[in-house]
């Protein structure tokens, strides 16, 4: 059975909003969804730093210098990881800017939302690493609950069940639809929210 999950808490935030909107939302155009299943793609995103880079590129294109400043890392380190992601087809140069005698490249994602597919389980470890990193990034973004506001929205939970193959596929399709609906509800005037989804096959004794 194929295993799919979202790349990060905010990755679903712009699914269905492929075109750039001046002044609001992403500042470059990209397809809605990319199915990530090639070994080199899964290995590229299994690295936590590279996962953080693609999250940072969802909202707007950024240069190597901007990413290095945001991550607190040397430009050379960030440039290396950008090359890995670019070779894997996960990011691309969306525009350039001439700074004196240097052409500065701005990178964007190959799609707003990444879905992972490992049908034969050969990349299971990479998918586990990607999922774990995605949830860590989501946890870092979560604001403390506002218990004084009765209308404050937020929910979370973990469930462990046994499913037959047909039900597992059915729930996977429903989660995919939920992510698309969540992204399609993007409202530039609304409050920032994230959605973290991870349906996975677990070890029998977990």
All domains of the chain in start order, with CATH: 11-184 (1.10.10.10)
Q: Mean pLDDT of all residues in the chain? A: 78
Model confidence at 113: pLDDT above 90: no
Q: What is the pLDDT of residue 150?
A: 55
* pLDDT band at 15; cut points 50, 70, 90: very low
Model confidence at 103: pLDDT above 70: yes
CA–CA distances in Å: residue 79 to residues 49, 64, 66: 12, 6, 11
Q: What is the pLDDT of residue 110?
A: 94
For the ranges 68-72, 165-169, 188-192, which has the lowest average pLDDT? 188-192
Task: Check: CB of residue 133 under 8 Å from CB of residue 9.
Answer: no
* Buried-exposed string 140-177: b where 16+ CB fall within 10 A, e elsewhere: eeeeeeeeeeeeeeeeeeeeeeeeeeeebeeebeebbe
For the ranges 60-69, 132-141, 145-154, which has the lowest average pLDDT? 145-154
Hey, how many other C-beta atoms are within 10 angstroms of the C-beta on 21? Answer: 11
Q: What is the pLDDT of residue 25?
A: 58
Specify the pTM: 0.65
Q: What is the mean pLDDT of residues 13-37?
A: 63
Q: What is the mean pLDDT of residues 40-47?
A: 90
pLDDT in tens, 16-25: 334 454 445 5
Task: Check: CB of residue 97 under 8 Å from CB of residue 106.
Answer: yes
CA angle at residue 150 from 144 to 155, to 5 degrees? 50
- Cα separation, 140 vs 34, in Å, equals 25
Task: Check: CB of residue 153 under 8 Å from CB of residue 42.
Answer: no
């Amino acid at each position: 059975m194929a295993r799919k999950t979202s790349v990060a808490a905010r990755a679903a935030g712009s699914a269905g909003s492929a075109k750039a909107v001046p002044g609001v939302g992403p500042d470059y155009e990209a397809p809605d969804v990319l199915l990530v299943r090639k070994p080199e793609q899964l290995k590229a995103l299994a690295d936590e730093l590279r996962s953080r880079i693609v999250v940072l590129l969802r909202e707007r294109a950024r240069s190597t210098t901007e990413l290095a400043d945001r991550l607190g890392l040397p430009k050379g380190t960030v440039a290396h990881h950008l090359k890995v992601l670019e070779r894997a087809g996960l990011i691309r140069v969306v525009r350039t800017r001439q700074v004196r005698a240097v052409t500065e490249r701005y990178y964007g994602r190959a799609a707003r939302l990444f879905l992972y597919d490992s049908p034969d389980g050969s990349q299971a470890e990479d998918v586990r690493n990607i999922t774990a990193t995605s949830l860590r990034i989501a946890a870092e973004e979560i604001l403390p609950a506002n218990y004084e506001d009765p209308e404050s929205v937020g929910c979370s939970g973990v469930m462990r069940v046994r499913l037959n193959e047909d039900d597992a596929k059915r729930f996977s399709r429903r989660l995919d639809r939920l992510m698309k609906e969540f992204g399609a509800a993007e409202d530039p005037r609304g409050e920032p929210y994230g959605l973290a989804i991870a349906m996975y096959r677990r070890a029998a004794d977990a």
